[in-house]
């Protein structure tokens, strides 16, 4: 059945994953004369150019997810748990620094050295080349828990540490001396940023205050406050406009005018989660942000009022995908429906061809007025969809059904938006029953008709162009139980339906009459038809899989081996392999000719 250790498939690359909760780092490449942004994506580092947000390189994977990221001129530093690695050429690990006992949570490159701080409050200074510890300092947790660190520019060998207790300390790392203690403001320091002016540092607090402070004379220059919780990131504009940006845990960004010492404007919902990283590109009116909502955005400040607009962005699902399917025959687009309620298309060729078809909505106009946060019109996530390219430039080519929802929606790939029709049976148009929902959909290979199965056993046909109801299979119902799957053959001759009572029925597509009914050993959970070869894969509730030949209507193969619910199935293009994925965390490949 499955030979251990013989891999038919190898991981190729990640699609649709751009950012996590780890702040990005911005680097300048002197020889290329261009800026690059690096993000931690799972276990590897992705590098993009700022010019086009095109992916430049993907690093080799580390053993675990990256939790901390930093970079200097030559190397990218990434840590997981208590081990720190350095990547060269954005690709391979060239240095490994081991010595921490606990998880590293702060990194700061520092000339020929790199400083790391772990959650046990131990600070280690490493020599980058020799990988040796230059210095280790243990701080007392009762009086000074390090929560932020910064190397103030022009301060040779010195670092500024912020603490959870609220005080700050300036240390000389070379001589291992505490030079000065700042009493602080009584709140945990969450972020530190160097201002364009020497000696001036911005201190972000857990209370939402930002203090712009001169550390040479220990005096506060200005003080701002945001009402959105702790300050997650701070960055300064350096292209001639005295502006400071500050991020928040709810996804808003505030822009402060440092000349007039007042709020200039705010960018609400820049991300749907906390702003993880934020940096202005030196000398340019560009701001780069990333967040755990899987989005990386470049904002440009060229309009009146000082507010920014999105110049370029890369984003994927902000919640796990529920179903993915290739769109079209060339294998270049993958349609993906996610738990965040969106339908997106990912290109296997290049990220620039990715597009989002948006999220489902009962009423698009009302949703637009309310905005994302207050949207009561949002539809539940898509559970199943079917797409066809045949007539997609003329009308909608995608049909989708939503979790626990009776109405099916159409989507337009060309216009990258939700389509014109909401399909549901006539008798439910006035009163919506609570317990009936659409469970299975298919679209004919010509793109003209959609077949929809209901949880109460009805199977209906609709016209995709007009949305008109074109008939129903069976007198009242096609099946006694809920519909678990519908499929139309390649020539619009047969419709195959599977019901939870354990029957598979074959109907004539046009006349809607029953041709044949076959009883199964147990209740099916899903069916999948390979149109070219006329074989039907059936997944059962008892975790077995059967293959049925549509010509002879007999079960020709049965496979046992999964120990969990079967989530999805697909046939290889030639119909010789059936590949199944299951809740037992395995993907199994079954060879049909040999069984």
**pLDDT tens series, the chain, 595 aa:** 444 445 788 877 788 899 999 999 999 998 999 999 999 999 999 999 999 999 999 999 999 999 999 999 999 999 999 999 999 999 999 999 999 999 999 999 999 999 999 999 999 999 999 999 999 999 999 999 999 999 999 999 999 999 999 999 999 999 999 999 999 999 999 999 999 999 999 999 999 999 999 999 999 999 999 999 999 999 999 999 999 999 999 999 999 999 999 999 999 999 999 999 999 999 999 999 999 999 999 999 998 878 899 999 999 999 999 999 999 888 899 999 999 999 999 999 888 889 999 888 887 777 666 665 555 678 899 999 999 998 999 999 999 999 999 999 999 999 999 998 999 888 887 777 778 999 999 999 999 999 999 999 999 999 999 999 999 999 889 999 999 999 999 999 999 999 999 999 999 999 999 999 999 999 999 999 999 999 999 999 999 999 999 999 999 999 998 999 999 999 999 989 999 999 999 999 999 998 8
511 phi and psi, to 5 degrees? Answer: -85, -10
Structure tokens at 489: 């053959």
Find the helix or strand (DSSP H, E) in which 370 lies.
Answer: helix 364-370
Three-state DSSP at 295 gives strand
For residue 529, the surrounding DSSP H or E stretch is strand 524-530
Listed in order, the ranges of the chain carrying CATH 2.40.10.480 are 529-594
Please give the backbone phi and psi of residue 361, each rounded to the nearest 5 degrees, phi first. -145, 140
Torsion angle of the four alpha carbons 229, 200, 124, 130, in this order, in degrees rounded to the nearest 10: 130
Encoding tokens for residue 583?
């809740």
Report the pLDDT value the prediction gives residue 372, as an integer from 0 to 100: 54
β-sheet with 566-571: strand ranges across = 566-571, 577-582, 587-591
Question: What tokens appear for 533 in the block?
Answer: 């070869």
Largest CA distance in the chain: 90
Residues 59 and 76 sit within 8 Å (Cβ to Cβ) = yes
Q: Residue 228: which of 201, 203, 210 has the closest Cα?
A: 210
Those residues whose C-beta lies under 8 Å from the C-beta of residue 415, and which sit 6 or more positions away, are none
Report the pLDDT value the prediction gives residue 47, as an integer from 0 to 100: 95
Cβ–Cβ < 8 Å for 233, 278? yes
Which class is 321-519 in CATH? mainly beta
* Burial of residue 217 (number of CB atoms within 10 Å: 0-12, 13-18, 19+): exposed
Pick from 465, 14, 66: which is nearest to 77 by CA? Answer: 66
Q: How far apart are CA 271 and CA 223, in angstroms?
A: 25
Measure Cα distances from 183 to 45, 169, 211, 231, 577 in Å: 38, 9, 13, 19, 69
C-alpha radius of gyration, the chain, whole number: 29
Cα–Cα distances (Å) from 483 to 142, 451, 497, in that order, read 62, 12, 7
What is the C-alpha separation between 566 and 570, in angstroms, rounded? 12
Tokens of 123: 């600070």
CA terminus-to-terminus distance, the chain = 8
CATH 2.130.10.10 boundaries in the chain: 17-138, 321-519
For residue 430, what pLDDT is reported? 74
Burial of 499 (0-12, 13-18, 19+ CB in 10 A): buried
- CATH number of the domain located at residue range(s) 17-138 in this protein: 2.130.10.10
Burial class (CB in 10 A: 0-12, 13-18, 19+), 468: exposed
Evaluated on CA atoms 357, 361, 364, 368, the torsion sign reads negative
What CATH number was assigned to the domain covering residues 529-594?
Answer: 2.40.10.480
- Residue 369 is predicted with a pLDDT of 66
Nearest to 526 by CA among 492, 496, 553, 560: 496
pLDDT of the residue at 12: 76
Question: CA-to-CA distance for 301 and 287, rounded, in angstroms?
Answer: 8
- Measured CA to CA, the distance from residue 561 to residue 1 in angstroms comes to 8
Which is it for strands 262-267 and 34-41: parallel, antiparallel or unpaired? unpaired
Taking the C-alpha atoms of residue 263 and residue 278, their distance in angstroms, rounded to an integer, is: 18
DSSP letter (8 states) at residue 361: B
For residues 178 and 181, give the distance between their C-alpha atoms in angstroms, rounded to a whole number. Answer: 8
């Amino acid at each position: 059945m499955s030979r251990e250790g013989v891999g038919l498939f190898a991981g190729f690359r990640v699609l649709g994953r751009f950012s996590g909760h780890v702040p990005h780092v911005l680097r300048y490449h002197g020889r290329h004369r261009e800026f690059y942004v690096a993000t931690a994506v799972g276990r590897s580092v992705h590098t993009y150019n700022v010019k086009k947000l095109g992916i430049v390189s993907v690093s080799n994977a580390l053993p675990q997810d990256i939790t901390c990221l930093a970079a200097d001129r030559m190397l990218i530093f990434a840590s997981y748990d208590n081990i720190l690695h350095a990547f060269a050429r954005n690709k391979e690990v060239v240095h490994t620094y081991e010595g921490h006992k606990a998880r590293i949570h702060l990194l700061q490159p520092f000339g020929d050295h790199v400083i790391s701080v772990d959650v046990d409050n131990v600070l280690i200074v490493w020599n980058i080349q020799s990988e040796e510890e230059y210095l280790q300092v243990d701080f007392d947790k009762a009086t000074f828990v390090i929560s932020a660190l910064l190397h103030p520019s022009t301060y040779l060998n010195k670092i500024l540490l912020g603490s959870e207790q609220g005080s700050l300390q300036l240390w000389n790392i070379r001589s291992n001396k505490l030079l000065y203690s700042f009493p602080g403001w009584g709140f945990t320091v969450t972020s530190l940023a160097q201002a364009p002016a020497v000696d001036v540092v911005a201190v972000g607090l857990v209370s939402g205050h930002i203090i712009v402070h001169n550390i040479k004379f220990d005096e506060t220059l200005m003080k701002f406050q945001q009402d959105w919780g702790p300050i997650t990131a701070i960055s300064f504009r350096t292209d001639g406009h005295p502006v400071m940006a500050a991020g928040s845990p709810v996804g808003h960004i505030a822009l402060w005018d440092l000349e007039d010492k007042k709020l200039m404007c705010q960018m609400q919902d820049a991300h749907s989660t906390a702003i993880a990283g934020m940096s202005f590109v030196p000398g340019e009116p560009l701001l780069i942000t990333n967040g755990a909502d899987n989005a990386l955005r470049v904002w440009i400040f060229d309009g009146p009022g000082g507010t920014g607009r999105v110049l370029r962005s890369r984003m994927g699902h902000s919640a796990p995908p529920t179903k993915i399917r290739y769109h079209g025959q060339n294998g270049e687009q993958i349609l993906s429906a996610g738990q965040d309620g969106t339908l997106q298309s990912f290109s296997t060729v290049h990220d620039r061809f990715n597009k989002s078809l948006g999220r489902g909505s009962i009423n698009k106009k009302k949703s637009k007025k309310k905005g994302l946060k207050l949207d009561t019109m949002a539809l539940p996530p898509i559970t199943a969809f079917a797409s066809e390219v045949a007539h997609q430039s003329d009308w909608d080519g995608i049909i989708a059904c939503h979790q626990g929802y009776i109405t099916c929606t159409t989507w337009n790939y060309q216009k990258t938006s939700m389509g014109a029709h909401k399909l549901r049976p006539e008798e439910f148009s006035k009163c919506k029953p609570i317990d009936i929902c659409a469970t299975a959909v298919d679209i004919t290979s010509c793109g003209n008709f959609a077949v929809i199965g209901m949880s109460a056993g009805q199977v209906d046909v609709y016209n995709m162009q007009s949305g008109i109801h074109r008939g129903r299979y069976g007198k009242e119902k096609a099946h006694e139980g809920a519909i678990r799957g519908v499929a139309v053959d390649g020539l619009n001759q047969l419709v195959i339906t599977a019901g939870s009572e354990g029957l598979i029925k074959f109907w004539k597509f046009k006349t809607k009459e029953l041709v044949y009914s076959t009883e199964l050993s147990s209740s099916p959970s899903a069916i999948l038809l390979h149109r070219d070869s006329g074989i039907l894969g059936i997944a059962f509730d008892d975790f077995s899989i059967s293959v049925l030949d549509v010509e002879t209507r007999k079960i020709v193969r049965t496979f046992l081996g999964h120990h969990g619910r079967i989530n999805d199935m697909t046939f290889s293009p030639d119909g010789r392999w059936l590949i199944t994925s299951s809740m037992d965390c395995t993907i199994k490949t079954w060879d049909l000719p040999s069984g």
